[in-house]
Amino acid sequence: MGHRNPLVRTALAAIMLVVLPSLTAAQMSHQHASEAACEETDLHCATKVTPAFAPDGTLWLAWMAGGHISVASSKDQGATLSTPVQVTRERLNLDWGPDARPKLAIDAKGDIALAFSIFRDRAFNGQVLTTRSSDGGRSFDPPKPITASNESQRFETIGFDPSGAVFAAWLDKRNRVPAQQRGEKYDGAALFVATSKDGGRSYSDAKLVADNTCECCRLALAFDGAGRPVVVFRNIFEGGVRDHAIVTFSDLATPGEVHRVSRDDWQIAACPHHGPSLSISPAGTYHVTWYTNGKARKGLFYAQSRDGGKTFSDPLPIGQANRSPSRPQIAAGPQGLVMVWKEFDGQKTTVNLMMSRDDGATWSKPAPIADTADSSDHPLLVSDRRHTYLSWMTKADGYHFQAIGSEP
Amino acid sequence: MIRHLLAALILLGSLAAAPAADEGALKPFERGSWQQLLRAHAGHPTLVHFWGVTCGPCKVELPQLGQFMKDHPQIDVVTISADLVPNLPDATRSMLDRAGLASAENWIFGDGFAERLRYEIDPAWQGDIPRTMLVARDGTITTIEGSAEIADLSKWSDAQAATIR
């Protein structure tokens, strides 16, 4: 710096000492303080990535990064991706809750229905937005609200039924206001559904399925062999017990009776941020995985129903209880049932796998198939005609998409 | 020249000190913060409340906790916003202010690896909020999952007062 005076040099060095460590700390904490690896809209900056196969075998990914939702596709099981297309027009306050993520479904024509949630106001009221692409994912319509109601909505899920209609379900707080006006207490939210007969361009009026569901856990959706939607959700049973419930629809607009998946007896006035997973095998068996911290049991569990969700088998514990098992996912694929979940040892998160070739009667020994040493999305499963794949976004190691072998 | 540099140093010093003096500043909760917090409050009955701005039940409980703090000045009240990051310091502070908790010791998760932060606090905690940990004078921790009943907190506080010889 050219200062000859040693005192000046000392003083300058002192300034550097004062300033530099705090700058470095601030920069580090900036990088550190985000779940995302970067702030741009690219896939490797994403915090949530959702996969879906189109009927023609194309893999589609929708992700949340840099305040935008983007999609890209792959004709080679994820090895190479198309140029991403941005779905959102402007940077949005996307719902970043642990169980929120963009949802997409592709029909036989290659049209794409997509849904996601934003925080609409400073009180964190949510809003479910939907859009669609009718040109094979080259462009998307401007996203618009799924319902005219201005009460909070979150945790949407969508899927095409075999006739090509979109079925959408979400959690909705609209019934709180009239209940409170009547002087009644209203716990949680409500499960609402709507359908679209035009590929997601417009949706029917929202229809109530059940009041007083848990308000902060994702929903699980699958279609049975007859194409009827089945939804699993964390309900609020008598006494504030947040255990899981299931409903099978007789058609897209007609919910059947709500049954209980398990009596875990988790009485808690809190947001568990930890929803269930559901898959229906070709035999028609419902397979459900979930998390609870109830009086009856604690941890991850699996159960199956062979009578269309009326009764379930005794819950089977999943994972190592001392490794904080979380985020269980189940998929009935071409090679049988596949289950994955996360475990954490204080430093490293591992994705563990179990498989069943007898419709859930017996399971292989759990085996780790992927790991990462920083934050990560939920491990997800998706199947094409040949394989089931693990889809897993990690901050440190980027996006994983890997075929799950017939033997773990 | 030297005088200017010294003045600059003093200025820097005062700038660095400014955020600490600013009541309501959120402390970033990072790796090691939990043990640091326990050490800082060792020997004092301490209520640690985990919450988040998007959590419905938290919005109901927070003002009750503000009242509890007012009524129980002998208890150290600590809040930790345990939402995923990037979270929202402005919204967090404004909710704490409105709940009467601006003068509590307030932290916010400041590490993107929330699982690891939670693991340092309680390996079994999967992130459900609200959650309250009551740290007794002797270090015994009682965890209340979900919204706490203020009557239970008061009972605990009274028991803590009784342990003073």
Contacts of B9 in chain A (CB under 8 A): 11, 14-15, 18
Chain A: nearest CA to B164, how far in angstroms?
A: 33
Contact A35 B85 (CB under 8 A): yes
Residue A311, SS3 per DSSP: coil
To the nearest whole Å, the CA of A105 is away from the closest chain B CA by: 27
From A83's Cα to the closest Cα of chain B, the distance in A is 27
Subunit contact A124:B91, Cβ cutoff 8 A: yes
Chain A residues with CB-CB distance to B117 below 8 A: none
Say if strands B131-135 and B46-51 run parallel, antiparallel, or are unpaired.
antiparallel
Complex ipTM over 0.85: no
Residues A324, A360 contacting (CB under 8 angstroms): no
* A145-152 contacts, C-beta under 8 A, 24 or more apart: A146/A115, A146/A170, A146/A194, A146/A203, A146/A206, A147/A172, A147/A192, A147/A194, A147/A203, A147/A205, A147/A206, A149/A174, A149/A206, A151/A125, A151/A176, A151/A177, A152/A120, A152/A124, A152/A125, A152/A126, A152/A127, A152/A189
Contact yes or no for A396/A374 (Cβ under 8 A): yes
Best of B31, B50, B115 to substitute, by most chain A Cβ atoms within 10 angstroms, is B115
Residues of A in contact with B131 (CB under 8 A): 270
Contact B57 A270 (CB under 8 A): yes
CA distance B53 to B109: 12
For residue B157, pLDDT beyond 90: yes
Token pair belonging to B54? 């998007």
CB contact under 8 A, B9 and A18: yes
Rounded alpha-carbon distances, angstroms, from residue A80 to A56, A83, A394, B55: 17, 10, 18, 39
Q: Are A357 and A333 in contact (CB under 8 A)?
A: no
Please state, in angstroms and rounded to a whole number, the distance separating the CA atoms of residues A138 and A20: 47
Q: What is the pLDDT along chain A (408 residues), one digit of tens a residue?
A: 334 444 444 444 444 343 333 333 333 344 456 889 999 999 999 999 999 999 999 999 999 999 999 999 999 999 999 999 999 999 999 998 899 999 999 999 999 999 999 999 988 899 999 999 999 999 999 999 999 999 999 999 999 999 999 999 999 999 999 999 999 999 999 999 999 999 999 999 999 999 999 998 999 999 999 999 999 999 999 999 999 999 999 999 999 999 999 999 999 998 899 999 999 999 999 999 999 999 999 999 999 999 999 999 999 999 999 999 999 999 999 999 999 999 999 999 999 999 999 999 999 999 999 999 999 999 999 999 999 999 999 999 999 999 997 544
Mutation target vs A (from B128, B129, B150; most A CBs, 10 A cutoff): B128
Distance, in Å, from the CA atom of A39 to the CA atom of A50, rounded to the nearest integer, reads 18
Angle (CA) B90 B94 B97, round 5°: 140
Give residue A11's pLDDT: 45
Residues of A with CB below 8 A from B127's CB?
A: 98, 272-274
Nearest to A226 by CA among A194, A206, A256: A256
Give CA–CA dist A312/A259, Å, rounded.
Answer: 10
Distance from C-alpha of B75 to C-alpha of A348, rounded to nearest angstrom: 36
Whether domain B24-162 has CATH 3.40.30.10: yes
pLDDT of residue B14: 42
Q: Does the beta-carbon distance from A34 to B9 stay under 8 Å? A: no
User: Which residues in B lie closer than 8 A to residue A12 (C-beta atoms)?
Assistant: 5
| Whether the Cβ atoms of residue A314 and residue A365 lie closer than 8 Å to each other | no
Q: Which of B16, B84, B126 sits opposite A96 (nearest CB)?
A: B84
Question: By CA distance, what is B95's nearest residue in A?
Answer: A123
- A118-130: string of b/e by CB count within 10 Å (b at 16+)? bbbeeebbbbbbb
Judged by CB atoms closer than 8 Å, whether chains meet at A272 and B86 is answered as no
Q: Which of B5, B113, B119 shows the shortest C-beta gap to A324?
A: B119
Identify all chain A residues contacting B113, using CB atoms and an 8 Å cutoff: 35, 374-375, 395
The shortest CB-CB distance from B1 to any of A8, A274, A326 is to A8
Q: What is the spatial distance between Cα B75 and Cα B153, in angstroms, rounded to a whole number?
A: 10
User: Cβ separation of B30 and A346 shorter than 8 Å?
Assistant: no
- Chain B residues inside the 8 Å CB shell of A393: none
Angle (CA) A189 B143 A216, round 5°: 15
For the cut 80, the answer to whether the pLDDT of residue B15 exceeds it is no
Task: Enumerate the β-bridge partners of residue A303.
Answer: A288
Average pLDDT over residues B135-154: 96
Q: Which residues of A touch B16 (CB under 8 A)?
A: 18, 22
Residues of A in contact with B84 (CB under 8 A): 35, 96-98
Q: What is the CA radius of gyration of chain B?
A: 18
Instruction: Return all residues near A291 (Cβ < 8 A) that are at least 6 apart.
Output: A272, A274, A276, A299, A300, A301, A326, A327, A328, B126
What's the pLDDT at A197?
Answer: 96
The 8-class DSSP code of residue A267 comes to: B
Tell me the C-alpha distance between A247 and B109, whole Å.
37
DSSP class of A177: H
For residue B52, which residues of chain A lie inside 8 Å, CB to CB? 271
CB contact under 8 A, A18 and B84: no
Contact B55 A344 (CB under 8 A): no
Q: Which residues make Cβ contacts (< 8 Å) with residue A303, sequence separation at least 6?
A: A261, A262, A288, A312, A313, A314, A315, A316
Nearest to A375 among B2, B113, B124 (CB): B113
Cβ density class A61-95: b for 16+ within 10 Å, e for less = bbbbbbebbbbbbbeebbeebeebbebbeeebebb
Residue B156 neighbours by CB under 8 Å, 6+ apart: B45, B134, B142
Q: Is the pLDDT of residue B162 over 60?
A: yes
- Determine, for residues A374 and B113 on separate chains, whether the beta-carbon distance falls below 8 Å: yes
User: Given an 8 Å threshold on Cβ–Cβ distance, is A124 in contact with B5?
Assistant: no
